[in-house]
Structure 1
Amino acid sequence: MTNASSRIPLDNATLSLFQNAKISIVISVIYMIVTAINLLGNGLSMWLLLFRTSPKTPSIIFMLNLTLTDLALGSALPFQIYYQLKGYHWTLGSNMCSFMTLVFYTNMYCSVLTMMAIGIDRYLGIVRPMMFRQTQKRKSIAVISCFLMWGVVLGVLYPLMTTDLTYDIPELKIITCFDVLKKSMLPSDFAWALFLSGLVFILFFFPFCVTTFCYVSVIRKLAKDSKTVQKKRAIRLAIIVLLVFVICFAPNNILLLIHSILRLFYDKSVYMAYKLSLCFSCLNSCLDPFIYYFASKDFRQKLRAIIRMPSLSSGDSMKMEQKETLFSGQ
């Protein structure tokens, strides 16, 4: 994002990015790979979660929510690829630009909040098993939580829905989509500070802290007993979730904050680094099916059956699977 009024000249870093064909091709190739993996992995996940996984526990409901946002991103990325290959020239109109931008950022922040919800559910199931034991009540809470997540994300992103996000750059003969964001989108620097704080702290930093606490607590709880199968699986799940935060979400949100502060107050830019980090943030949609594999016993069994992998059959594994089904919401 480069904050500019309607005709303030763009900074050299942004203009350089728009003229860098190699970077545009690299970003396009990454998006192509992500799109293919996203649609294949999440398409299979959606089918398994909807039609092959029962009962629909809270964790499964959260996974369905996450898969839905991932598939929306996978469906939107081809438009971004087309835009990149056209040399940052958007030809589909301002409404479509706003819609695709909203899909892009909704995926990121709904994914963050949903992974936090999955972590909380596992924390309650393993560390606090006596809380929310009534299955129906937990299902209702999960469904309401999903609606609340969407409400919070769309509330914070509301300025993107009410602004023309296209920007005409006559000197390059291109019209960008969300790559140049007018400072006039919000009425004051204070409003910009609130907007950025909502993105970085409410939708990223706070969920990251809660998720880390939940998984660390789960690992500490399981480390006290000898149930190594569940412990190893919980550790793998925690590692994958935290890697998604650290690799996919953290660089983008940190660079967003740095870049916006530099543009608002110092007329400087780290836009190329931010653009690349935004590209890599999409990798979360490729890693989410691995989260489902380690978080859901039923999903794991159905996937193993499809790809003809042998199921675990030791006595200890069966006992651990039974306990996981009872307490962790699958």
Structure 2
Amino acid sequence: MTGNSNGTKLDNATLSLLKDGNTSIIISVAYMIITAVNLVGNGLSMWILLFRTSPKTPSIIFMINLTLTDLALGTALPFQIAYQLQGYNWNLGPRMLPLTLIFYTNMYCSILTLTAIGIDRYLGIVRPMLFRQTRERRSIAIISCLLMWGLVLSVLYPLMTTDLTFDIPELGITTCFDVLKTNMLPSMAAWAAFLFSMVFVLFLFPFCVTTFCYVSVIRKLARDSKTVQKERAIRLAFIVLLVFIICFAPNNILLLIHTVLRLFYKKSLYMAYKLTLCFSCLNSCIDPFIYYFASREFRQKLRHIVNLHSQSSADSMKMEHKESIYSTQCPFEGQEREHSKMSLMPQREGM
């Protein structure tokens, strides 16, 4: 959550931010850049995933789910930009309030999806004998995506059933999701359960699982013979963990600290929390790069698609053959290929 209120009186940190036009402009410019990169990168990635990638392995399904959440954020950010540039004055009416929840649905669905991809990589590389049937794994992947959304929406249900607007007469504005009333939940126990679900269930536990999975993958690959594919897989695993820490950890840690300070000590870290929200949105821009553009083979295919790299028909056929091999090796795709079983065993750990 981005703020708290004890009824009618705001803390000085919140008032200071709402009055600070320079900070509003800086954050809005950051959101503009994020929106542009998000829509271009994730739009292209979605097109490639849906129409240029086959078969739809479990990791591809998870990546489609991740891209959908990123695109949803990209379409909602312009409304947040307009809101901030108008001095934190929400004039779109209550029907548009669900747009503000996309910040949290994106962040937590992204976290859970990254965890699911990590588990899929762990099973495919460290425990390859489990869930060997491709169709079974696809069904599990689809059900997992539905459960992710169900869990996130269940945790955020109090925000979905609450009037998130807050009138500030002294500033002549009506905020949206920047000030939450203490009576939004019936008791401190309910607030504790709400915070625990957001910070520990939707962030800390998935982070620990993701870390375990990728550390296990790195250790497994490090013990094998060194190849370019395996080195790339290790680098990508490190990048995923780094993005997880940079984009998600600051916001969730400050969420917990800020809310505790506001509820019990009438203090606030609102300015810092607001800035970390930009970092959580930044993940939506990085996802296409760390999962797709880190691959040399994918870049070649991308250049071919957008006609930035001319090739002869023979070179194109060779590249497509190389891509088909790569798709069984990518560390973020399932290794079970129905049409190339002969190449599975020697390549299932590589990239």
The reply on whether 1:134 has 2:133 as its aligned counterpart is yes
| Aligned match of 1:248 | 247
Contact 1:34/1:282 (<8 A) preserved: yes
The whole-number CA distance in structure 2 between the counterparts of 1:328 and 1:309 is 32
Q: 1:152 to 1:328 in 2, by over 3 A?
A: farther
Shift of 1:18: 0.5
CA RMSD for the aligned pairs? 2.5
Contact 1:54/1:298 (<8 A) preserved: no
The whole-number CA distance in structure 2 between the counterparts of 1:81 and 1:297 is 35
Contact 1:230/1:321 (<8 A) preserved: no
TM-score, normalising length: structure 2: 0.87
Identity %: 73
The whole-number CA distance in structure 1 between the counterparts of 2:26 and 2:139 is 44
Shift of 1:244: 1.7
Contact 1:292/1:299 (<8 A) preserved: no
| Aligned match of 1:235 | 234
Shift of 1:234: 1.5
The whole-number CA distance in structure 2 between the counterparts of 1:70 and 1:319 is 28
The whole-number CA distance in structure 2 between the counterparts of 1:318 and 1:42 is 22
| Aligned match of 1:109 | 108
> What is the identity, as a one-letter code, of the residue corresponding to 1:145?
S
Q: 1:50 to 1:321 in 2, by over 3 A?
A: closer
The whole-number CA distance in structure 2 between the counterparts of 1:12 and 1:62 is 42
Instruction: Figure out how many residues of one structure are paired with residues of the other and give that number.
Output: 326
Contact 1:121/1:328 (<8 A) preserved: no
Contact 1:13/1:269 (<8 A) preserved: yes
Shift of 1:301: 6.0
Superposed, which structure 2 residues align to 1:34-183 within 5 Å? 34-97=34-97, 99-183=98-182
Q: 1:301 to 1:61 in 2, by over 3 A?
A: farther
TM-score, normalising length: structure 1: 0.92
Shift of 1:321: 6.5
> What is the identity, as a one-letter code, of the residue corresponding to 2:130?
M
| Aligned match of 1:188 | 187
Contact 2:35/2:77 (<8 A) preserved: yes
Shift of 1:192: 0.4
Secondary structure in structure 2 of the residue aligned to 1:283: helix
Contact 2:230/2:349 (<8 A) preserved: no
| Aligned match of 1:219 | 218
CA displacement, residues 233-286 of structure 1 (integer Å, 9 cap, x when unaligned)? 222211221122111100000000000000010000000000010122100000
CA displacement, residues 42-101 of structure 1 (integer Å, 9 cap, x when unaligned)? 00000000000000000000000000000000000000000010010000112312x112
> What is the identity, as a one-letter code, of the residue corresponding to 1:174?
I
The whole-number CA distance in structure 2 between the counterparts of 1:273 and 1:289 is 27
The whole-number CA distance in structure 1 between the counterparts of 2:217 and 2:271 is 38
Secondary structure in structure 2 of the residue aligned to 1:171: coil
Q: 1:166 to 1:319 in 2, by over 3 A?
A: closer
Unaligned runs of 5+ in 2: 336-343
CA displacement, residues 140-184 of structure 1 (integer Å, 9 cap, x when unaligned)? 000000000000000100001100000000000000010000011
> What is the identity, as a one-letter code, of the residue corresponding to 2:230?
K
Superposed, which structure 2 residues align to 1:257-296 within 5 Å? 257-293=256-292
Mean Cα displacement is larger for which, 136-145 or 240-249? 240-249
Secondary structure in structure 1 of the residue aligned to 2:66: helix
| Aligned match of 2:3 | 2
Contact 2:254/2:269 (<8 A) preserved: yes
The whole-number CA distance in structure 1 between the counterparts of 2:5 and 2:172 is 18
The whole-number CA distance in structure 2 between the counterparts of 1:281 and 1:43 is 19
The reply on whether 1:18 has 2:18 as its aligned counterpart is yes
CA displacement, residues 24-53 of structure 1 (integer Å, 9 cap, x when unaligned)? 000000000000000000000000000000
| Aligned match of 2:30 | 30
Shift of 1:298: 8.2
> What is the identity, as a one-letter code, of the residue corresponding to 2:262?
R
